[in-house]
Structure 1
Amino acid sequence: MRLQTSLLVLMLVIFAFPSAALAFYKPTRVLLPQLFGVECPSENICIDDLTRLEAAEQLRAEAVDFVNSNVGRISRVPRFIFCNTQTCSDKFGQYHAAAYNVGTVGIVIRTKGWRKHFVRHELIHHLQNERFGSINAFLFKPKWFLEGMAYSLSGDPRRPIPNDELEGYRTEFERWHDGSDIWTRAMHLR
């Protein structure tokens, strides 16, 4: 009887935790975007409006080429979810962001994020997570480095960024970056 109870509890945990995560923590929806109203015509792109697929593919390809050439080689290009509608954007959360990255799993491009610099910015965060590990980057790398690098190296044309804190991060990164190998120097940042 005790074994049956333990197995029942284990099964509940195995099924309940992922279901709760998908229901209540919207960024986890990147793992199964088809359940939330987008189509995935390829392994790497999901979209809510197939008439915008070509534009999404171009943004993704341009960002991958740009980051590989100018920032560092990406080991595994993540899945991109492009939301053309507010309804789609709301299903994936992060309401104040134009786009956001989920570790090394995926990138969500919200309605206002369909610009080269936003897509590049999030792909740079993906690369940071590949190089440092998602948890290490989040917990131990300075925010000025992570955000400043993404704003600076993505070619974001906004000068200044309409957020003083983020502009400060970019300024600090640009002061720190001397043109040498970012990745080697960044390993020592805390």
Structure 2
Amino acid sequence: MWRKPPSFKRLAVLLCLVVPALAWAFVKPVRVVMPGWADVTCAGALCTDDMRRASEAEQLLAEAQAHVERQVGAFGRRPRVIFCARQACADYFGLGARSAVTLASVATVIGPNAWKPHYVRHELLHHAQSDRLGPITLLFKPAWVVEGMAYGLSEDPRSPLAEPFESQRKAFLDWYGGIDHTQLWPELRKL
């Protein structure tokens, strides 16, 4: 017996309901869109799961924002940053073994071991990259641009970094040394 195929309207409704639900369940970084479900408290663009450490998180974020803006210019869109003091919070957002993660220019999650200036700067540099270049364009940039820039301009004190990150940092800093720093974004768009 022949069955009539589902209408486009029904298929569209199904996709609009199912795809976000699946993303929420399986792509945990997407959860940054609604961090309140992770038992975090937000004040503006800063969220944390431990309000006793909110002042520390505010200081780290303010220092990192100022540092990144000195390096690459003002943010177009201010980042939302979620500071997880507990591993359960980091797990909720899908950090796994990572110390921190930035989801395009939507939000950044800082894990319990990443409450250090260079980690927050690193992630805010990824935010700036996504904000200025676009998340899709960023996917096609070489790793020495994406990670090398974040490690190099964050002034990460670890030296040497584990490979391939040390080589990526060196490649970026070598390239960066040969350009007019006021033309960083146009130069990056050319790559």
What is the TM-score of this pair, normalised by structure 1? 0.91
Q: Measure the CA separation in 1 of the matches of 2:51 and 2:8.
A: 46
Kindly report which structure 2 residues correspond to 1:75-90, keeping only aligned pairs within 5 A, or say none. Answer: 75-90=76-91
TM superposition shift of 1:170: 0.4
Asked if 1:176 corresponds to 2:175, the answer is yes
1:16 matches 2:18 = yes
Q: CA deviation at 1:69?
A: 1.4
Q: Residues 100-132 of structure 1, C-alpha deviation per residue, up to 9 Å, x if partnerless?
A: 110010000011110000000010111111111
Deviations 1:63-112 (A, max 9, x none): 11111112221111111111000111111113121111100100000111
Aligned to 2:143: 143
1:9-68 alpha-carbon deviations (Å, 9 max, x no partner): 43332222211111110010010111122121x120111111111111111111111111
Aligned equivalent of 1:44: 45
Distance 1:150 1:38 in 2: 27
- Alpha-carbon distance between aligned partners in 2 of 1:131 and 1:13, rounded to the nearest angstrom: 30
Give the residue type in structure 2 aligned to 1:123: L
1:94 match: 95
> For residues 71 and 152 of structure 1, what CA distance do their matches in structure 2 show?
12
CA RMSD of aligned residues (A): 1.8
For 1:16, what is the secondary structure of its paired residue? helix
TM-score by length of 2: 0.90
CA distance in 1, matches of 2:74, 2:9: 45
Helix, strand or coil: the match of 2:109?
Answer: strand
Given the alignment, which residue of 10, 31, 34 partners 1:32?
34
Aligned length: 185
Aligned equivalents of 1:111, 1:88: Cα separation in 2: 9
Structure 1 residue runs of 5 or longer lacking an equivalent are: none
* Matching residue's letter, 1:67: V
2:126 is equivalent to residue 125 of structure 1: yes
- Check the 8 A contact 2:95/2:111 in 1, yes or no: no
Per-residue deviation, 1:7:
4.8
Native 8 Å contact 2:83 2:110 kept in 1: yes
Superposed displacement of residue 5, structure 1:
6.3
What is the CA–CA distance in structure 1 between the aligned matches of 2:151 and 2:7, rounded to whole Å? 52
Instruction: Flag structure 2 segments of 5+ consecutive residues without an equivalent.
Output: none
Q: Is the 8 A contact 2:101 2:108 kept in 1?
A: yes
Q: Pick which of 101-110 and 8-17 moved more.
A: 8-17
> Which of 163, 167, 185 is residue 187 of structure 2 equivalent to?
185
Q: Which residue of 1 aligns with 2:54?
A: 53
* Structure 2 residue 107 is matched with structure 1 residue 111: no
Distance in 1 between the 2:15 and 2:39 partners?
Answer: 26
